Structure 1
Amino acid sequence: MEFAELGLRPELLRALTSLGYEEPTPIQREAIPPLVEGNDLVGQAATGTGKTAAFALPVLQRLTAGKRAGGPAALVLVPTRELAEQVSQAVHRYGRDLGVRVLPVYGGQPIGRQLQALARGVDVVVGTPGRVLDHIERETLQLGDVGTVVLDEADEMLDMGFAEDIEAILAETPAERQTVLFSATMPPRIDSIARRHLREPVRITMGRQAPEPGEMPLVRQSAYIVARAHRPAALGRILDVEAPSSAIVFCRTREEVDQVTETLNGRGYRAEALHGGMSQDQRDRVMGRLRSGSTELLVATDVAARGLDVEQLTHVINFNVPAAPEAYVHRIGRVGRAGREGSAITLAEPREQRMLKAIERLTGQRITLEKLPTVTDLRARRLENTRTALQASLETDDLERFRVVLDSLADEFDVENIALAAVKLLHEAAGGDVDEAEIPTPSSAPSRREPGPGRRESTRPGNARPSQDGVTRLFFGIGRRAGLRPQDLVGAIAGESGLSAREIGAIQITDRFSLVEVPEPAADMVISAMQRSTIRGRRPTVRRERFVR
């Protein structure tokens, strides 16, 4: 099937041809016809399957020709500013022959520019829920003329605590609108939104295109079991052996991002950090250097790297196992896009092997457990790199001007020894032999012992409340008087610590403080991340709940 068979208008077909699109992807073939006809749609599609064009082309198809009066005709909600920019750019490219006016709106950008563009008039708004709701409350964004609403990466928006904002935004749009929902995973909460806000939607489930029999999958997935203390050394060794041309290393917290970036730079890599604590200009400059090739490694949190598409990216490395299997799906979606091959590598502690099994159940794909490269492996890899560099020089370089050096040495030394000395110098210039200790193989994780008769569950130092069923309650020194809502806590914790919203338990908000249940293994990580963050403009005290006997 070709795009012309989908019934798209000539202006869109010309744009697709100029962009080099030859035929629609499976999700585009399935989604575009019912959307062009005006149906609501729920699509489960992995990242990198072409879903942006699957909803953007029908939105443009349904636009009225010529300049439109009134508010936007379409609204696309996305979880992050990076994805807002990418979707906006895609809509602009597809609709350039239509003269489409598209505006990305998100936090971290001067709101004045957005106000001016909205006042002039736009056809499509692509924005994050928080900033869209901000414009609605300012009465600078009128949604009464919206004919299509798209919820892109819906599961991620819910994980970030945007559920209530999405409900408020949908309430401002016409009841007869077309509603489109795309999500990489389909938890019950997504079905609940679909039942409330979509009318008899067409449902499409589309994973990554399966490889032909006998072919390897586009994304090679593997994991290394390593103790926490040895993870930085293991990461460096894996990068040395894999030698990625461009990679993203995912970490859970900002602090971890900064530490890993410093470690990799100390090892000789060109690594840069990307996290939510950076300004938009800083993040744009980092991404520009990654795309230009001046940076080879990006160390990032999920909240910063969501929705990024870097053409030359070859590897995604999880410095630790993601807190939720769905986060793993989103992370590995950064590679293997548009038919490009890639590798997804995860560092896991012994106790996290069960989490790898949960990921395998969700993805239906096997994660191969590999042995960490030894010092011998690393030495062999560096020698191979030296051989490859020499081979390239022999095949392409003009070597004749160095013959005078060879001839002068050949009078005194054997030619073979001269060659070996040259190889030695090249090898040492590239880093030389490895002088590292072996990384010990971790022992298996100890089994958890349940308190039995005559045994008491121990309490933590400082009279902290004992954990119950692996859950710990955290105290936040901010409450109802500061206007705090449950989604504020969920969004802040999920965004700053990397913990999935699904793992956040019961929330109790009083006038002056709040209590939040989190998994015991993640408690210290959450506390560390939140102590450097703000909630509703404040930086509250965050600690374990005190327990008085």
Structure 2
Amino acid sequence: MEVPGFEAGDTNDEAIFNMKPSQKSRKTGGFQSMNLSITVLKGITKRGYKQPTPIQRKTIPLILEGRDIVGMARTGSGKTAAFLIPMFEKLKSRQAKTGARALILSPTRELALQTLKFIKEIGRFVGLKAAVILGGDSMEDQFSVIHGNPDVIVATPGRFLHICIEMELKLNCVEYVVFDEADRLFEMGLSEQLGEILTRLPDARQTVLFSATLPKVLVEFSKAGLSDPVLIRLDLESKLPEELKLCFFTVRHEEKVAALLVLLKSVVKKDQQTVVFAATKYHVEYLHTILEQMGLENAYIYSDLDPSARKINAAKFSLGKVKILIVTDVAARGIDIPQLDNVINFNFPAKPKLFVHRVGRCARAGRSGTAYSLVASNEYAHLLDLHLFLGRPMPLATTTNADGAIGRIPQSLLEDQMSSLLIVENRSDVQNLQTTADNGYKQYLRSRQAASAESNRNVKDLPWSSVSVHPIFGKLVERVNLEGEHFMDRMKAYRPQGTIFEICGKNKSQEYLAMKEKRAAHKQKILDHRRELEEKMAAKEQNLFQPAAKLQTSNEEDISRGFSDVVVPKRMRMDSLYTRKRKGRDVFVPYASEDRHAEEGLLVNNFQKEAKRAELELVADSEQALKMTKQMKRWDRKKKKMVNVEDPRKGKIRTESGVWIPATYKTNRYADWKEKTKKTIIGGDDIDDEDRSANRNAFSGRKRYTHWAKHNEKVKTKQMKSEMKSTGQILKAREIAERKKQRSKKKTKRTTKRKKTQK
């Protein structure tokens, strides 16, 4: 099956390079119309790209013009290739003596390794040297990698800043900077590290920001130092691809593991790949053990796992050795798994934006996929937040509406898995893992972001008790007794018209006659009350389940303040981007925009949280005293009193740009490494052996393969060398002299022994 936008890797691409110039310049909409070089085009076609995606078609020409870009597009739309292809075209070829000319910052280890893989695949004919700098790897190896002068550096911000400060690294040659998943970089609290890295970069650089979601007000991203940027907002109407199917199941918290087993054994096909998202690393270990005991082979990844183990488990899943991968949110961003079919949310995400990133791992590049979510009672409000954010209806599967997307799992299937789980959970090691996971979940609930007040208020009025079996189980008729399940649902929804005195009492009893008389007296009030409840519920359902209007972007003032150019799809009218101001007298009218739920989900900083941090001490009477009182005291919630605050600069050092960073960033590890590796750095030169031989060949002209030609080249290079020896050469000469001395001593000892034995 041919996927839209892709083709087989062994495609015959001779026709592309043999095209006439007039054919290449024709507006065909392909990569050939972008005036790319032959080496870049060859790498693109060998990778399997046939037609550029909308984000690639909009951004690549602008990046090649040298413009700064802020790109927003749906997950799985090809953002990685959108910033790599123009990078190859701008850097052209390898330059050994220049140093790093491109820097790509990624939020997670897996995303950085995936970007490096794309660089090697698409740019294999360009000849650029790429290196990756990640936390958890050996710093000594990374020192030697930097000394090799790579053209492109892919790094995570924390470790890269550590390397910059240790080595006092100069980034004057960097001309192309990419922030991949930019909103995640700022949300992780890396603003100080990013600011310090940016101060080390030259002002003439080109900066590109890419993300699946960006907030309306790009305040945090202005810190990146963009100059006259272009904002590109594509696919705003649909945050999720149309090929992705969403299924939600209401379960009790105690039945979630059994529900997961039902999905993996009964719903998901055995030959399909599935990623399971859990809340904490303790849940990941617990689910891994449970699934292994139940005969389901799986791999797992979380942030604290050893880097080599993470790499091995990811390779097992990507190569198809195992079909199930259990992860935390470390894999929710940017990871490209081409054949992924299903995503299961074991713990429902607190943020709608995180849900978009999780389920965006499947249904990529035109493929279809399904996202299953297990929703407990304490997660109903977050489910409502998600539907308000997506602007989609929220249909519950009931006896009257059998096509709803929110249903429950048949009780018979849950009971079967619960009985099989009892045998596994009785083991001591599994019980310890379960206790640890429960404690970790309690801590997770404390730090989990609360749902909006509106959702918490409205979710109480929804008929969760009347939710029936999900329509997806209609195909499992041979294993599920749907008639029995529907009968139980009708029994749960049944409400008798009379009270207990009327139903259970005798016809001539005093209680029965009193209730009959009371009901007859208040008959009209009862009917009015029921009608009022029905109207209120209908109005609430209309407000909750009606799809929201299309998203509105910033007004003219906001956009003109941040961007001089805005690129939008052709189907969106530019007039709809701007809100017209009413003329006349200024009157305050309370107003909430139609897209407020979506914009609240996209926020990087919340105004309420920022306002809570601000405080004013009225006792102090000077600016200095105000600062001192704010630094000296803070309110301790546990002790219920004001306590002293430690100096915020304690354990920190100040950089050249004036930023205070942890003192652990500056140690003597690089100096120790240089001292140990003096014999490997010849003449203090930072060029590796490959580039050194290339420079020699370039100097001597065309290569000569005869013995005397090579001998003459060696003589010339010796004559060109300076007579001043470096420290490494002196140490090496001393070492060789010492070896000769020891060898001669051993030789004299052997000769004296032989003479003695002969006598």
Short-chain TM bin: 0.5 to 0.7
Question: Which structure's residues are more often helix, by fraction?
Answer: 2
CA RMSD after TM alignment: 3.6
- The equivalent of 1:184 in structure 2 is 212
1:359-415 CA distance string (max 9 Å, x none): 2333345566332332567999xxxxxxxxxxxxxxxxxxxxxxxxxxxxxxxxxxx
Residue equivalent to 2:111: 83
Residue 48 (structure 1) shift: 0.9
Q: Distance in 2 between matches of 1:514 and 1:335?
A: 46
Give me the whole-angstrom Cα distance separating, in 1, the residues matched to 2:188 and 2:328.
Answer: 13
Cα deviation 1:52-96 (Å, max 9, x = unaligned): 010011111111434242321111111011111111111222221
5+ unaligned residues in a row in structure 1: which ranges? 381-431, 445-499, 518-534, 538-549
Which of 65, 72, 77 aligns to 1:49? It is 77
Cα displacement string for residues 193-241 of structure 1 (whole angstroms, at most 9, x for unaligned residues) = 2376111211111238979xxxx92111121122212111112112223
Identify if the C-alpha distance between structure 1 residues 66 and 293 changes in structure 2 by more than 3 Å, giving closer, same or farther.
closer
Local SS of the residue matching 1:337: coil
Correspondence 1:230 to 2:255: yes
Matching of residues 23-42 of structure 1 within 5 Å: 23-42=51-70
Task: Return the alpha-carbon distance in structure 1 between the equivalents of residues 148 and 634 of structure 2.
Answer: 44
> What amino acid maps onto 2:410 in structure 1?
T
Would you say 1:314 and 2:328 are equivalent positions? no
Distance 1:6 1:501, change over 3 A: closer
Find the aligned partners of 1:318 and 1:165 in 2 and give their Cα distance.
Answer: 32
Mapping 1:275-424, distance limit 5 Å: 275-304=302-331, 306-365=333-392, 369-374=405-410
Q: Structure 1 counterpart of 2:343, which letter? A: V
Q: Do the aligned partners of residues 92 and 292 (structure 1) sit closer, same or farther apart at CA in structure 2, a change above 3 Å counting?
A: closer
> Does the 8 A contact of 1:241 with 1:373 survive in 2?
no
Aligned partner letter, 1:29: R
Q: Look up the SS of the partner of 2:104 in the other structure.
A: strand
Question: Helix, strand or coil: the match of 1:203?
Answer: strand
SS at match of 1:193: helix
CA gap 1:104/1:66 in 2 versus in 1, 3 angstroms: closer
Q: Which moved more, 1:71-80 or 1:253-262?
A: 253-262
Q: From 235, 250, 258, give the equivalent of 2:277.
A: 250
Shift of 1:125: 0.7
Distance 2:85 2:243 in 1: 27
- Compute the displacement of 1:338 (Å): 1.6
Match of 1:203 among 231, 234, 250: 231
Question: 2:303 touches 2:330 (CA, 8 Å); kept in 1?
Answer: yes
Check if 1:99 corresponds to 2:99.
no
Give the residue type in structure 2 aligned to 1:125.
Answer: I
SS at match of 1:272: strand
Distance 2:136 2:199 in 1: 25
Contact 2:93 2:127 in 1 (8 A): no
Question: Given residue 70 of structure 1, which amino acid in structure 2 is its aligned partner?
Answer: T
1:139 paired residue number: 167
Q: Is the 8 A contact 1:79 1:157 kept in 2?
A: yes
Aligned to 1:458: none
Q: Which one has the largest radius of gyration?
A: 2
Pair 1:21 & 2:49 matched: yes
| Whole-angstrom distance in 1 between the partners of 2:637 and 2:83 | 38
Partner residue, 2:200: 172
Report the count of equivalent residues: 407
* CA distance in structure 2 between the aligned counterparts of 1:514 and 1:188, rounded to whole angstroms: 34
Question: CA separation in 2, counterparts of 1:177 and 1:370?
Answer: 49
Distance 1:209 1:336, change over 3 A: farther
Q: Output the CA distance in 2 between the equivalents of 1:516 and 1:267.
A: 45
Counterpart of 1:346 in 2: which secondary structure? strand
Q: Deviations over 1:297-324 (max 9, x none)?
A: 1111112554322222111111122121
SS at match of 2:245: strand
Instruction: Say whether the 8 Å CA contact 2:107–2:157 is kept in structure 1.
Output: yes
Provide the C-alpha distance between the structure 1 equivalents of 2:633 and 2:366, rounded to a whole number of angstroms: 53
Distance 1:126 1:354, change over 3 A: same
For residues 196 and 85 of structure 1, the distance between their equivalents in structure 2, rounded to whole angstroms, comes to 23
CA gap 1:78/1:66 in 2 versus in 1, 3 angstroms? closer
Q: Distance in 2 between matches of 1:195 and 1:135?
A: 22
Aligned equivalents of 1:147 and 1:366: distance in 2? 47
Whole-angstrom CA distance in 2 between matches of 1:75 and 1:49: 22
Distance across 2 between alignment mates of 1:501 and 1:43: 16
Label 1:191 to 1:501 Cα distance change in 2 as closer, same or farther (>3 A): closer
CA distance in 2, matches of 1:132, 1:511: 33
Report the CA distance shift for 1:536/1:238 in structure 2 as closer, same or farther (over 3 A). farther
Q: Please name the residue that 1:118 is paired with.
A: 146
Residues 259, 414 of structure 2: 8 Å contact kept: no
Q: Post-superposition shift, 1:105?
A: 0.8
Task: Determine the C-alpha separation between the residues in 1 that align with 2:195 and 2:225.
Answer: 9
Corresponding position of 2:265: 240
- Contact 2:60 2:86 survives alignment (8 Å): yes
Amino acid at match of 1:123: D
Q: 1:137 to 1:516 in 2, by over 3 A?
A: farther
Distance 1:124 1:516, change over 3 A: farther
Q: Give me the TM-score of the superposition, normalised by structure 1.
A: 0.67
From 141, 150, 155, give the equivalent of 2:178. 150
- By how many angstroms is 1:172 displaced? 0.8
AA in 1 matched with 2:371: A
Cα displacement (A) at 1:187: 2.7
- Consecutive unaligned residues in structure 2, runs of 5 or more: 1-28, 395-403, 417-477, 494-602, 615-629, 639-661, 665-759
Asked whether the 8 Å contact 1:48–1:333 carries over to 2, the reply is: yes
The aligned residue for residue 546 of structure 1 is none
Q: CA deviation at 1:253?
A: 0.7
Which amino acid letter does the alignment assign opposite residue 381 of structure 2?
A: R
Alignment CA distance shift 1:513-1:280 (3 Å): farther
Q: Which amino acid aligns with 2:387?
A: E
The change in CA–CA distance for 1:98 and 1:138 in structure 2 (over 3 A counts) is same
Partners of 1:536 and 1:243 in 2: how far apart? Answer: 50
Q: Secondary structure, in 3 states, of the residue corresponding to 2:322?
A: coil
Listed one character per residue, the Cα deviations across residues 507-527 of structure 1 (whole Å, up to 9, x for unaligned) are 79989999799xxxxxxxxxx
Does structure 1 retain, via aligned residues, the 8 Å contact 2:198–2:224? no
Question: 1:514–1:148: structure 2 CA closer, same or farther, 3 Å change rule?
Answer: farther
Amino acid of the residue matched to residue 60 of structure 2?
I
Cα drift, residue 143 of structure 1? 1.3
